[in-house]
Chains A and B, each alone.
Chain A
């Protein structure tokens, strides 16, 4: 016989303002197996939790239902409270009577009260069949693997190696350094990019804790957090077959970086067709040549020093119709820097910037931009260029000034397109190998945009750099260091505890048909031919239930979410006939 405790939270007036909490508790007390029921203004507060703990102790409660907000908010709070007084935390269930009830029925108090009662009753049906579960424990391999050795990957790897952890770095190019190798000087202090990169690259190459594989790619990934097996293939460079090796690591950093959106896609600007229409990185190359040779910036077509340069921002960015919908974030600042350096290198030249908004969201960059405009005579014209064409050896442009309303025809000898930042080629393969999700634009998706910004959708796989979203060097380094710290927290554990709410298989019912294997998004299912049934790798299973739905023999069941429990919950609601449709705001 269960002794069930029910705790209904008012959430101030969030729940109690709509649901008649006293009537609900009165009714709940009449239900079989309910040994205790009470309500309180804020159950999650310390006094609220103390009520829960006291009732468990004093009334020997065996299972709990806390009727409150979404389990995303306080499931953990109440499970910990229960555990602190000796009750297995998996015998605690949340009945969501806020998001799924009071918030969506604010104008229907009677409906909300009846629904809250039913939600609690259904949760009681579930919790009385819950099993006391123990967390799954897995060991941790304290080695990390970094995919991509731009400034993000180098930074994360060095931090981990300095903390004493062996780190494997995989870079597909022959050289490390990524896009930073192609940048001349950085904003806002004009520090040569090489001065930033070279010492870090050297430190990485020489670090005793770092194993560096260049001209290499990740070709297969198995395992799970704390226990990954990563296959790395290295191009020997002599045309022979790639050498492959497997690295055992506990965590993986995705720092695959970015590419620029191809200028060829910008037909109206003659991209790919006109030799003097180039992208921002190509212009960095021209600047780098200029600094190296001590000569003015020269244009690609005929090597003539440039006199008139037009920079076109948002080339392919903020263009949901034809190109990319998002802001590429770094172009406003690098364009301003490029225009400024150009004015330094080619005195007397004209630098126009076509812009829609100037976004300076990094430290000291607003002042830097303003100063360049005020003191260096860079001309900013608000309006998108409509087209660029060649006339003789000059380029001509049609644009407009939205601030005066004029239409403007300009000529130039070089046009620099600040093309959109896009995820580096190959992101899709990396995403599928590591099961790390990407967003609609191909950028790696963080687990929570505010609270878990460096974790991917797969545990143990972390993010750093512009592969997650366009960012400048400052932000890239900060994110890489955050990622390294996050991995160090992981490596501070000897073993990892994992939620035991996973799938289990009844070997007597399983016919080893294998339908569950391809349907599992986490690679957690495998048919054991010898034993004659399909196994669950509990460390990989996320308890999503895909196999449960697919299994023709009903041999798969989720722990504490079994068929009997779910049907029991549904029956509570099914018994309520003729109800209006319930809506849900979860």
Chain B
């Protein structure tokens, strides 16, 4: 089965290991990821703050490209996912903004492709079964908490999630590879996002609370599915030393995807000890 793939700007920089592990896990499960050609920045957490149309136009261009590619689009980074999904909702609803997008980008939205986060993808029928079947090294004894943050689940009008306060998909994925997913109350609290730039101290207030509660819940690591959440949680957790791993890294370890050492090297808090 094939998907289109939108790696996002951090794929080749701060989110290098997220991209590498995503590609590795998809390949190990027999899914093809086709990077859509000539994709552009989704606008990040910035464009919508400054201009409504730019905030929609940037992600919409990627949708136009994905539509031509003709396959559902996997967007692993939570922030990118939210921007692209919002543009999809605007296009599907129709009206002034949709018309303007169609005119400026000279394309017609036919609604033929869907936008999927990794959480959405994990919920597709058969995906977790495929994971279970291919586990080479179960992560038995590893205790984790799953962290969704904001952009994967909210706003529900955009993500279409029935349970945005207590999603459980990442936990199910962790359990599928033998790890123990602990219950905690902070899975959808905010990490501070771009607050880190310019107000690192304030981001630290939020992230240290998250990391502290994860530790108190008894977790060995926090599992995330967003580059910005990852960077914030690693760098702003106030020296607690709680490793933060991407869900794809966790799956990749259990599936024994090659090249994992390179992933661990990119971390500020080395997670490789979790898997020894």
Direct chain A–B contact by Cβ atoms under 8 Å: yes
- Cβ–Cβ contact B165 & A268, under 8 A: yes
Task: Indicate which residue in B163, B164, B185 contacts A270 across the interface (CB closer than 8 Å).
Answer: B185
CB nearest to A395 among chain B residues: B185
Q: Tell me how far the C-beta of B275 lies from the nearest C-beta in chain A, rounded to whole angstroms.
A: 29
**A280-288, A368-376, A384-392, A446-454 - the one binding chain B:** A384-392
Q: Does B121 belong to the interface (CB within 8 Å)?
A: no
- Alpha-carbon distance A268/B187, docked complex (angstroms): 11
Q: Is the CB of A267 within 8 A of B165?
A: yes
**Using an 8 Å CB-CB cutoff, how does the interface string of A529-545 with B read, 1 for contact, 0 for none?**
00000000000000000
Q: Are B185 and A389 closer than 8 Å at their CB atoms?
A: yes
Per the bound structure, the CA–CA distance linking A389 and B163 in Å amounts to 16
CB distance from B115 to the nearest CB of A (A): 24
CB of B199 within 8 A of chain A? no
Residues on the A chain within 8 Å of B163, using CB: 267
Residues of A within 8 A of B216 (CB): 391-392
CA distance in complex: A110, B275 (Å): 90
Task: Identify the interface centre among B166, B185, B186, B216: most chain A CB within 10 Å of its CB.
Answer: B185
Contact B185–A267 (Cβ < 8 Å): no
Residue of B nearest to A267 (CB): B165
- How far is B187's CA from A387's CA once the two chains are assembled, in angstroms? 13
Chain B residues numbered 159-193 whose CB sits less than 8 Å from any CB in chain A: 163-166, 183, 185-186
Q: Are A267 and B164 in contact (CB under 8 A)?
A: yes
Given the known A-B contacts A391-B213, A391-B216, A392-B216, are A267 and B186 also in contact in the complex, defined by CB atoms under 8 Å? no
Q: How far is the CA of A267 from the CA of B183 in the complex (A)?
A: 13
Type the 1/0 row for B205-223, where 1 means its CB is closer than 8 Å to any CB of A.
0000000010010000000
CB distance from A266 to the nearest CB of B (A): 8
Contact of B186 among A268, A273, A389, A392 (CB under 8 A): A389
A390 contacts B185, C-beta separation under 8 Å: yes
Q: Min CB distance, B171 to chain A, in Å?
A: 12
Residues of B within 8 A of A273 (CB): 166, 183
- Which of chain B's residues have a CB closer than 8 A to the CB of A389? 185-186
A387 cross-chain contacts in B, Cβ below 8 A: 165, 185
Residues of A within 8 A of B185 (CB): 270, 387, 389-391
Task: Point out the residues of chain A lying under 8 angstroms from B165, CB to CB.
Answer: 267-268, 387
Which residues of the partner chain A approach B183 to less than 8 Å between Cβ atoms?
273
Chain A: residues with Cβ within 8 Å of the partner, total of 9
Interface 0/1 of A23-65, CB less than 8 Å to B: 0000000000000000000000000000000000000000000
CA of A270 to CA of B186 in the docked complex: distance in angstroms?
Answer: 11
| CB-defined contacts of B213 to chain A, threshold 8 Å | 391
What residue in chain A is nearest B163 (Cβ atoms)? A267
8 Å CB interface, A418-473 against B = none
Inter-chain CA distance A392–B166, complex, in Å, is: 19
A268 to B156, CA, bound (A): 14
Interface residues on B, range: under 10
A286 to B215, CA, bound (A): 33
**For residue A391, which residues in chain B have a CB less than 8 angstroms away from its CB?**
185, 213, 216
User: In whole angstroms, what is the CA distance A391 to B164 when docked?
Assistant: 21
Closest chain B residue, CB of each to CB of A269: B165
| Minimal beta-carbon separation of A504 from chain B (angstroms) | 49
Shortest C-beta distance, A415 to chain B (Å), equals: 13
Within 8 A of B (CB), among A360-411: 387, 389-392
> Which positions 200-251 of chain B face chain A at CB distance < 8 Å?
213, 216
Residue of B163, B165, B183, B213 contacting most chain A CB atoms (<10 Å) = B165
Q: Which residues of B contact A267 (CB under 8 A)?
A: 163-166
Residue of A nearest to B157 (CB): A321
A261 to chain B, nearest CB (A): 15
Which residues of chain B have C-beta atoms less than 8 A from A392's C-beta?
216
Alpha-carbon distance between A387 and B166 when the two chains are bound, in angstroms: 12
CA–CA, A392 and B212, complex, Å: 12
Docked Cα-Cα span, A273 to B186, in Å, equals 13
Question: Which B residues touch A390, using CB under 8 A?
Answer: 185
- 0/1 interface trace, chain A 251-287, chain B, CB 8 Å (1 if under): 0000000000000000110100100000000000000
Q: How far is the CB of B148 from chain A (nearest CB, A)?
A: 12
Closest to B164 in A: A267
In the assembled complex, the Cα of A268 lies from the Cα of B163 at a distance in Å of 10
> How many angstroms from the CA of A391 to the CA of B185 in the assembled complex?
9
Q: Nearest Cβ distance between residue A457 and chain B, in whole angstroms?
A: 33
State the CA gap A476–B183 with chains docked (Å).
42
Closest-CB distance, A467 to chain B (whole angstroms): 27
Give the complex CA separation of A270 and B166 in angstroms: 8
Closest chain-B Cβ to A582's Cβ sits at a distance in Å of: 33
Instruction: Kindly list chain A residues whose C-beta atoms are within 8 Å of the C-beta of B166.
Output: 267, 270, 273
Q: How far apart are A586's CB and chain B's nearest CB, in angstroms?
A: 34
User: Bound complex: CA of A83 vs CA of B228, how far in Å?
Assistant: 83
Alpha-carbon distance between A138 and B186 when the two chains are bound, in angstroms:
66
Q: Give A404 Cβ to nearest chain B Cβ, in Å.
A: 22
A392–B185 Cα distance when bound, in Å, is 11
Shortest CB–CB separation between residue B272 and chain A, in angstroms?
31
CB distance from A276 to the nearest CB of B (A): 13
CA distance A390 to B185 in the complex (A): 7
**Closest-CB distance, A301 to chain B (whole angstroms):** 14
Expressed in whole angstroms, the Cα–Cα distance for A381 and B216 within the complex equals: 30
Bound together, the chains give a CA A392 to CA B217 distance in angstroms of 8
Q: How far is the CB of A410 from chain B (nearest CB, A)?
A: 14
Distance in angstroms between the alpha carbons of A537 and B24 in the assembled complex: 72
Within 8 A of B (CB), among A266-322: 267-268, 270, 273
Cβ distance A575 to chain B, nearest Cβ, rounded Å: 44
Residues on B with beta carbons closer than 8 Å to the beta carbon of A270: 166, 185
Q: Mark A475-501, 1 if CB is under 8 A from B, else 0.
A: 000000000000000000000000000
**Shortest Cβ distance from B166 into A: residue:** A267
Q: How far is the CA of A267 from the CA of B165 in the complex (A)?
A: 5
Q: Within the complex, what minimum Cβ distance (angstroms) separates A384 from chain B?
A: 14
User: Which residue on B lies nearest to A389, using beta carbons?
Assistant: B185
A389 to B165, CA, bound (A): 11
CA distance A55 to B120 in the complex (A): 79
Report the Cα distance A392→B216, complex, angstroms: 8
A287-B165 Cα distance, complex, nearest whole Å: 30
**Complex Cα spacing A390 to B186, Å:** 10
Query: In whole angstroms, what is the CA distance A267 to B166 when docked?
Result: 6
Chain A residues numbered 228-249 whose CB sits less than 8 Å from any CB in chain B: none
Within 8 A of A (CB), among B132-171: 163-166
In the complex formed, the residue of B with least CB distance to A274 is B185
**Nearest CB of A to B239, in Å:** 21
With a cutoff of 8 Å between Cβ atoms, the chain A residues found around residue B186 in the complex are: 389
| Smallest beta-carbon distance A419→chain B, Å | 15
Using CB atoms, name the residue of chain A closest to B167. A267
**A409 to B183 CA separation, bound complex (whole angstroms):** 21
How far does the alpha carbon of A340 sit from the alpha carbon of B271 in the complex, in Å? 52
Q: Could you tell me the distance between the alpha carbons of A8 and B113 in the complex, rounded to whole angstroms?
A: 66
- What's the minimum C-beta distance from B209 to chain A, rounded to whole angstroms? 11
Nearest CB of chain A from residue B263's CB, rounded to whole Å: 31
Report the bound CA distance from A73 to B176 in whole Å: 69
Instruction: List 7 contacting pairs A-B, 8 Å CB cutoff, sorted by A.
Output: A267-B164, A267-B166, A270-B166, A273-B166, A387-B165, A391-B213, A391-B216
| Additional pairs, 15, CB under 8 Å, beyond known A268-B165, A390-B185 | A267-B163, A267-B164, A267-B165, A267-B166, A270-B166, A270-B185, A273-B166, A273-B183, A387-B165, A387-B185, A389-B185, A389-B186, A391-B185, A391-B213, A391-B216
Q: Which residues of B contact A (CB under 8 A)?
A: 163-166, 183, 185-186, 213, 216
Cβ-closest 8 pairs across A and B: A267-B165, A389-B185, A267-B166, A268-B165, A390-B185, A267-B163, A273-B166, A270-B185
